[in-house]
Structure 1
Amino acid sequence: MHGTIPAPVPGRSPSGSSLPLVLRLALRELRGGLKGFGIFLACIALGVAAIAGVSSLSRSLTDGIGREGRRILGGDMAFSLLQREANEAERAYLTSKGEVSSIASMRAMALAGEKGSALVELKAVDAGYPRVGTLETDPPFSPADLLAERNGAYGAAADLALLARLDLKVGDRVTVGNATVELRATLVSEPDKIASGIGFGPRLLVSQEAVRATDLIQPGSLVRWTYRVILPQDLSTEEGLGQIEAEAARVLPEAGWNIRTRLNADPRFARNIERFTQFLTLVGLTALLVGGVGVANAVRGFVDRKRASIATLKSLGAPGGQVVLLYLTQVMMIAALGIAIGLGVGAALPFIVTGLFGHLLPIPIQPTLAWTELGVALLYGVLTALVFALAPLGRAHDVPVSGLFRDQVDPERRWPRKRYLAALALSVAALVSLAVLAAYDRRIALMFVGAAAASFVLLRLVATGIMALARRMPRPRSTAPRLALANIHRPGALTPSLVLSLGLGITLLVTLALIDSNLTKQLQQTLPERAPSFFFLDIPNAQADAFEGFLKEQSADAQIERVPMMRGRLVSLRGLPVSQIKAQEDVSWVLDGDRGITYAKAPPDGSRIVQGEWWPEDYRGKPLVSFDQRVAEGLGLKIGDEIVVNVLGRNITATIANLRHVEWRSMGINFVMVFSPNAFAGAPHTHLATVTYPNGSDAAADAKILRSAAQSFPMVTSVRVKDALEAVNDVVSQLVMAIRGASAIALIASLLVLAGALAAGHRARLYDAVVLKTLGATRARLLSAYALEYGLLGLATAVFGLLAGTLASYLIITRVMNLTFALDLSGAVLASGLAVFVAVGLGLTGTWRILSQKPAQYLRNL
């Protein structure tokens, strides 16, 4: 039959090309509507919309930051120094390039008498602030009037959170260090808020005269000076910015400043957007892959409905390849409609977000049509539709006409031809390549691809195992269990599609539930029990012993730990500038900006030497450094390598003497880099202290020690760990909510796929119901048989989902998030049970409709 030449068709091109004929027949068949393709369209549109929307919104955010970079940065360029102001030569260099302004930022304690004290993020600005953008306060003030000294107090604008925390109002006064500050307004908007970063305390905006009056700026104090430069127009081009950045590093190599331009106003924020975008894109891709199962189910059902047409075409001499191409064309045309819907929704998302929430967002957003990102989403949609449609369509090529008619009751199991398998392999390879190449972190993308492939393979094996087990089990005497068991393994059973659809959904639910519970437990329960109660920063070197005595007096039963502390910025590793170091993603933060460093005669508590040896207590040789093992491996460092760190404007070269394993989760005092004591001989520095109560502390005791410390040592910054953890937890909770919202898309896709799998088996179920009802089966007996079938499949699949989801969450928590995994299956079991209940409910709902059909009209066609 394959060699038969089909009869000429009117309108066919003389060249013999089958493409016009295929298109004509495809369009003609589509006139009947899209019945049976609702879930197909929804799955494709949902996944593409998720990917297109997330990537378009990300591009709008990054474009907004790029276009508003000058306002965010406060100028065209920013030069940041830690623990010191720019010297005369550095200031002269900056002034030679353009108009210079400066801000100083540091943490400090605001004391409000008997109302207590609070940690604040102090931001001290010069007279011309802001040079770019507008400062908004309530009530409105000009910056000069707002911050001026009047009646013995310096003016300030405070975050509303500070007023709420200390029960203050506009017009009240607080003490910061040795200065009195009057809260004249609340902060509404700062043009450079993003560049200032997110702190643990509320913002307090003051003048630089005020911060000098506090006497908090001492040698070694953790104060950051940032110099913003507004360049002439001819130097503010992209090329000019790059030239000045390179020149500054060349002319003043030991300045140790961190340089940013308006083109990368906040690189950390931009990277965080990229990371979160990748996560949400993977969630969207999960929805698309889960939806792909729905595509396969819909195509399988489509082929089932077209059996008569396929048989007719083949009996008239149509080659198998032409039949497959005809229906593949139809499927891809329908997929194109779903992709178009998804692209439209995704492209509109940035404009919708800007219109509804733009005024609430603390970051600039520039809604735009991100054509590149939309093109990637288009490719995802096309490849997914192709991957999941080829296999069910390819089977129709070689099945004989008689087999097509008989396939309803005795489906033939065979692989598609090699050409379709090759096309399928190429499509899968293209989809995997796209997922990896388009990812920000390709390691995570590869892990995702591996997990997705393993899930599909394992679920197929689970389905095969369930069918084999059902086939070998003894036959029950009761009709309903016997029928349920037979339905699980009979030819054309729903088992493979139901197990795949439900298994993916339950695995995803369990994974999300366990990640959620672990994050909550780590941040709200585990850490506070193990962590110190307080961190005390910026303890002046001259007052370190006195402050330690004060802590012992206030907390006689507490464990007190104190170490020297400085800030340093890595300049080079193994002779290479840090800009040329290709660090692993999870440790690249070490190269970004300044890090806390210390020196010690003995290894710090909470760490152990894993390679090399510690230096002698009286060591006087070349400076040595101890490195965190995981960070060193991520940076490609080993014992004997040299590093250069800039501290207080001086480059110091040290050799790695040993590597340590650090238990960071203890929240004790520890550092990535610990130097030999002789490395910083004579350098000004402060101290860091912790107070740990053996049985914890209460709020009243905490408030008392904070107030006493602020009154007796106004230079010292006190951080209550519980407050810091609450601040972190607030941020993480918002991220978890965003993750839950995004993951809901994948869960909706799972639900759609499950419904699609049940709908795909409608024809077979209808045939069974008609025959059984004709033989005398009652509706109740059939419903009980189907309920038992769906329940058994759901239970078996739930067990797999629990195991697979637990493994996936374990790997994410331990390998990606670097946290300790705690097994808590309460939420996961509840989610699994709910999924099984929904599956059974959907199955019985569809079955009820089938059982309501009259047998006569179907018996005539058998």
Structure 2
Amino acid sequence: MSGFVPGHGRAGNQTFALAARFALRELRGGLKGFYIFIACIALGVAAIAGVTSVSRALTEGISREGQAILGGDLSFSLIHREAEPEQIDFLKSLGTVSRAATLRAMSRKADSSDQALVELKAVDGAYPLYGSIDLASGQTLEAALSKQDGIWGAAADLALLARLDVAVGETLALGRTTVRITDVIEAEPDKLSGGLEFGPRLMISDAAIADTGLIQPGSLVRWHYRVRMNPAPGIQALETIVENAEREYPDAGWRVRSRANASPGLQRSIGRFAQFLTLVGLTALVVGGVGVANAIRAYLETKREVIASFKCLGATGGFVFQIYLVQMLILALIGIGIGIFIGALLPFAAAAALSGVLPIQLAASIYPAELGLGLVYGLLTALAFALWPLGRAHDVPPTALFRDIVTGGPKLPRKRYLAATLVTVIALAAIAIVLSHDQRMAGIYIAATAGAFVLLVAVARLIMFAARRLPHVRSTELRLAIANIHRPGALTPSVVLSLGLGLSLLVALALIDGNLRRELTATIADQAPSFFFVDIQSHERDAFEALLQKEAPDAALQSVPMLRGRIINLNGVPADEFTPARDGSGWVLRGDRGITYQAEIPENSKLAAGSWWPRDYAGPPLLSFDAEAAADLGLSIGDKITVNVLGRELTAEIANFRDVEWQSLAINFVMVFSPNTFAGAPHAHLMTLGWDRDVPQETELEILKAVSNVFPTVTAIRVKDAISQVNDLVAQLAWAIRGASSITLIASVLVLAGALAAGHRSRIYDAVILKTLGATRTRLIVAYGLEYAILGLVTALFALVAGGIAAWYVITQIMGGSFVLMPVTAAGAALIALVLTVGFGLVGTWRILGEKPAPVLRNL
């Protein structure tokens, strides 16, 4: 019979149309057996579409509220110094100008019994140009900051009041003056543009800043000039104004931003986090792809008689392939549709959940491009994992389909299906890499995932090989468990693949988090100084050092001059046009960097290349650069770098590279200049104080109190407080990453459940025959439990090794830290694997053992 073989002409179209009709007819029976398939695709697509949509909503929200976040349409910021009169006139010609100064300072209680580091902000009467600052009492900011009875007013974060145990109406010493807390800040419109903060906000009038004595030559103060333009120009017009400003005042040394990039650091962080979560979603899809392959393989097993009938009636292998490919695509589109629907809702859910957390409103909307990306990822993943089992069905003869009850050994599909699978996988990886923010990291992530996948297949085969070669054991239950591991149609590959990737990712993240915490709390804490003292003026340096030697005679002191500068160009190439040698490594070029000058190589550095200048060097300016940063930028000895310091542009030649011990938290700089470079330049000093032993907290607080009372304009940063704050940030980020990465583990659980469901039919036969031969339910449960426990334990061991290697690479090769394997993490991975495999396995086994033997035996 040739009813399936169409004539010539439109043969291809007719064949596909006929295949589609048969596919739709078979789907009339429902979706039984494909719920895991649909759930795996839906989960991964929802993760990708939702994450990218939420990221877009955040960045759109930042852009939409860019004026309020930035504090104006344009922002011009300078370090150390104020703008020149002609520069201010230029700014005023653009629109209304508001000036603000930000710096870190020490605030003290009136009785000097306690002190705290604050993020001080001095604002003028025009602040804020956009948005509004909300005070708890509802009074205006001008009234709150005004001078009453000879004392300036100040508005503070509630955290400062709690830290110092003071209330509204009480006074604080600030520098050389006194301020009265008149109100509590509830909302600050431009807070996001300030970057990382180490203390609570204290806001005063810019008229009060002179009384504090905190502004001295070389002080680490940043002056911000915000401009409000009326009418507000478009983005292109703002870019033109920025270009004109930099061309007209090339030596100004200011950092210019527009409302289009109001918070570049936050936007970069959002982009990187979104990229990571997208890759996690892709990993969930890959894990889910195992479920797709399992579901299709199990479904085709139930269709043996149908496929045999098709072939006996004249259907070709290609026709059979088309039927089930159409079914797979329909089911995949159902899962993708569910995932896209969930992903489309996530920005609205995130906007509601984060409304009281973030100082901006998410631009919640439906973003077609991001949802389309989820569609592409979902479709390519489904195809990548479906083509192989569908291709194998092409060449299975009708006799084998009728006779085989269990699946035989693995057989490769035809070359066309192998090629189609390879092309789909390459396309999936290429899209993920091309669309990522950091293509190098995306490539490493995908290569690691692919490597883990291949290794898991090899591990599964190795387990089966080892089980087949094990000597005879006396225990019947253990012997049955070992036989189940390597028999034809065994669950071993599915179980190992389903759990391996998810657990490996979780182990890697847990080890990275644990090692970062260890660096912060142990290694760093042992090596780091106890205090950083900033803004020590040259005329008070000796007296300040004498005070520290008196208060802490057994402590180690280190002092260096400190300035702030921004790299303007490298070898004549402007910094904003310079392309680093490594993607994502241009952090040195963003913003201002701390710089210093020294006659001798710093204590925490080792010369990596080049030579150090003589102590009495008096030639052209020379520069020592951090070796790792130089490699990232692609710099060589002899290259020229121009920096803007105090409004002056200085060009220096790289004389050497240094290996810097950043993890010590001691005084370190990316750039160290020869002493003659800054001869006569006004600057402050940076000093550290530390012990080679643990000291009581009371000792540190007494020193902090003494310094604050005698030198009120010096800013003291207690390193333990800074480490604690960074540790809290790392902990919050780690929990967010773990929560997001649990998507992969959920996919693993779904696939595991699907794998067990796929083996349900053959397990029923096994259980019924064994029970007929006298096996008890208890003995079978023990045998199956041992089988799942062995598989779970081996998978956990693989996850520990693979996740450990991945964590080691990230910590040592990317972050430059030291790595330690943590046994608790290993035990946790093993426990998760055992609970999941044994738990799900025994639940399914209990149902299987409840089957009545008679109906099953009649159908054998």
Tell me how far 1:627 sits from its aligned partner: 0.1
Tell me how far 1:216 sits from its aligned partner: 0.9
Residue 315 of structure 2 is aligned to residue 318 of structure 1: yes
In 2, distance between residues paired with 1:464 and 1:48? 30
Unaligned runs of 5+ in 2: none
When structure 1 is superposed on structure 2, of 204-213 and 832-841 the one drifting more is: 832-841
Alpha-carbon displacement from aligned partner over 1:710-751 (angstroms, at most 9, x marks no partner): 110011000000111111112111111101110111111111
In 2, distance between residues paired with 1:600 and 1:637? 21
**Paired amino acid for 1:315:** C
Contact 2:791 2:837 in 1 (8 A): no
Alpha-carbon displacement from aligned partner over 1:773-811 (angstroms, at most 9, x marks no partner): 233322222222222222222222222222111111111
Aligned to 1:652: 650
Tell me how far 1:14 sits from its aligned partner: 9.0
Number of paired residues? 857
Local SS of the residue matching 1:611: strand
In 2, distance between residues paired with 1:300 and 1:450? 26
Contact 1:105 1:124 in 2 (8 A): yes
Local SS of the residue matching 2:724: helix
Aligned to 1:219: 217
**Paired amino acid for 1:697:** V
Which of 376, 380, 402 is residue 377 of structure 2 equivalent to?
A: 380
Contact 2:60 2:363 in 1 (8 A): yes
Which of 284, 290, 295 is residue 287 of structure 1 equivalent to?
A: 284
Over aligned residue pairs, what C-alpha RMSD do you find? 1.7
Alpha-carbon displacement from aligned partner over 1:356-395 (angstroms, at most 9, x marks no partner): 3313322332112121111111111111111111111111
In 2, distance between residues paired with 1:383 and 1:732? 35
Tell me how far 1:586 sits from its aligned partner: 5.1
Query: Aligned ranges for residues 495-644 of structure 1 at < 5 Å?
Result: 495-583=492-580, 584-585=582-583, 587-644=585-642
Tell me how far 1:47 sits from its aligned partner: 0.9
When structure 1 is superposed on structure 2, of 115-124 and 586-595 the one drifting more is: 586-595
Contact 2:135 2:141 in 1 (8 A): no
Contact 2:287 2:497 in 1 (8 A): no
In 2, distance between residues paired with 1:856 and 1:157? 83
**Paired amino acid for 1:278:** Q
Unaligned runs of 5+ in 1: none
Residue 701 of structure 2 is aligned to residue 703 of structure 1: yes
Local SS of the residue matching 1:31: helix
Local SS of the residue matching 2:859: coil
Tell me how far 1:136 sits from its aligned partner: 0.2
Aligned to 1:793: 791
Residue 306 of structure 2 is aligned to residue 309 of structure 1: yes
Alpha-carbon displacement from aligned partner over 1:302-345 (angstroms, at most 9, x marks no partner): 11121121111111111111111111111111111111111111
Query: Aligned ranges for residues 264-413 of structure 1 at < 5 Å?
Result: 264-409=261-406, 411-413=408-410
Local SS of the residue matching 1:229: strand
Contact 2:195 2:265 in 1 (8 A): no
Local SS of the residue matching 2:373: helix
Tell me how far 1:594 sits from its aligned partner: 0.5
**Paired amino acid for 2:777:** R
In 1, distance between residues paired with 2:600 and 2:234? 51
Tell me how far 1:15 sits from its aligned partner: 8.4
Which of 793, 796, 813 is residue 811 of structure 2 equivalent to?
A: 813
Distance 1:14 1:397, change over 3 A: closer
Tell me how far 1:629 sits from its aligned partner: 0.2
Aligned to 1:487: 484
Distance 1:822 1:586, change over 3 A: farther
**Paired amino acid for 2:508:** T
Contact 2:285 2:381 in 1 (8 A): yes
Aligned to 2:462: 465
In 2, distance between residues paired with 1:568 and 1:628? 15
Aligned to 1:6: 3
Contact 1:513 1:828 in 2 (8 A): no
Contact 2:449 2:501 in 1 (8 A): no
In 1, distance between residues paired with 2:54 and 2:30? 34
Tell me how far 1:860 sits from its aligned partner: 2.3
Contact 1:152 1:180 in 2 (8 A): no
In 1, distance between residues paired with 2:256 and 2:354? 32
In 2, distance between residues paired with 1:98 and 1:797? 65
Aligned to 2:772: 774
Which of 762, 780, 783 is residue 781 of structure 2 equivalent to?
A: 783
Distance 1:637 1:13, change over 3 A: closer
Local SS of the residue matching 1:827: helix
In 2, distance between residues paired with 1:538 and 1:500? 58
Distance 1:594 1:8, change over 3 A: closer
Which of 846, 850, 853 is residue 852 of structure 1 equivalent to?
A: 850
Aligned to 1:99: 96
**Paired amino acid for 1:104:** A
> TM-score, normalised to structure 2's length?
0.97
Aligned to 2:107: 110
Local SS of the residue matching 1:219: coil
Residue 159 of structure 2 is aligned to residue 166 of structure 1: no
Contact 2:54 2:346 in 1 (8 A): yes
Contact 2:189 2:359 in 1 (8 A): no
Tell me how far 1:16 sits from its aligned partner: 6.1
Which of 195, 207, 210 is residue 209 of structure 1 equivalent to?
A: 207
In 1, distance between residues paired with 2:599 and 2:126? 47
Aligned to 1:748: 746
Residue 145 of structure 2 is aligned to residue 140 of structure 1: no
Which of 185, 196, 201 is residue 198 of structure 1 equivalent to?
A: 196
When structure 1 is superposed on structure 2, of 706-715 and 814-823 the one drifting more is: 814-823
Local SS of the residue matching 1:690: strand
Tell me how far 1:210 sits from its aligned partner: 1.0
> TM-score, normalised to structure 1's length?
0.97
Percent identity over the alignment is 54
Contact 1:394 1:420 in 2 (8 A): yes
Alpha-carbon displacement from aligned partner over 1:802-844 (angstroms, at most 9, x marks no partner): 2111111111222333322122121222221231132012112
Tell me how far 1:858 sits from its aligned partner: 2.0
Aligned to 1:231: 229
**Paired amino acid for 2:748:** S
**Paired amino acid for 1:641:** D
In 1, distance between residues paired with 2:773 and 2:322? 41
Aligned to 1:435: 432
Contact 2:351 2:361 in 1 (8 A): no
Aligned to 1:240: 237
Tell me how far 1:13 sits from its aligned partner: 9.0
Which of 722, 725, 739 is residue 723 of structure 2 equivalent to?
A: 725
Aligned to 1:678: 676
**Paired amino acid for 2:677:** A
In 2, distance between residues paired with 1:7 and 1:197? 68
Which of 446, 452, 459 is residue 449 of structure 2 equivalent to?
A: 452
Contact 1:70 1:132 in 2 (8 A): yes
Contact 1:509 1:832 in 2 (8 A): no
When structure 1 is superposed on structure 2, of 220-229 and 700-709 the one drifting more is: 700-709
In 2, distance between residues paired with 1:316 and 1:106? 84
Tell me how far 1:624 sits from its aligned partner: 0.3
Which of 687, 690, 711 is residue 689 of structure 1 equivalent to?
A: 687
Alpha-carbon displacement from aligned partner over 1:429-461 (angstroms, at most 9, x marks no partner): 111111101111111111111111111111111
Alpha-carbon displacement from aligned partner over 1:195-254 (angstroms, at most 9, x marks no partner): 122310100011101111111111111110011112233x72222211111111111111
Contact 1:115 1:167 in 2 (8 A): no
In 2, distance between residues paired with 1:511 and 1:591? 31
**Paired amino acid for 1:121:** E
Tell me how far 1:850 sits from its aligned partner: 1.1
Local SS of the residue matching 1:288: helix
Contact 1:540 1:715 in 2 (8 A): no
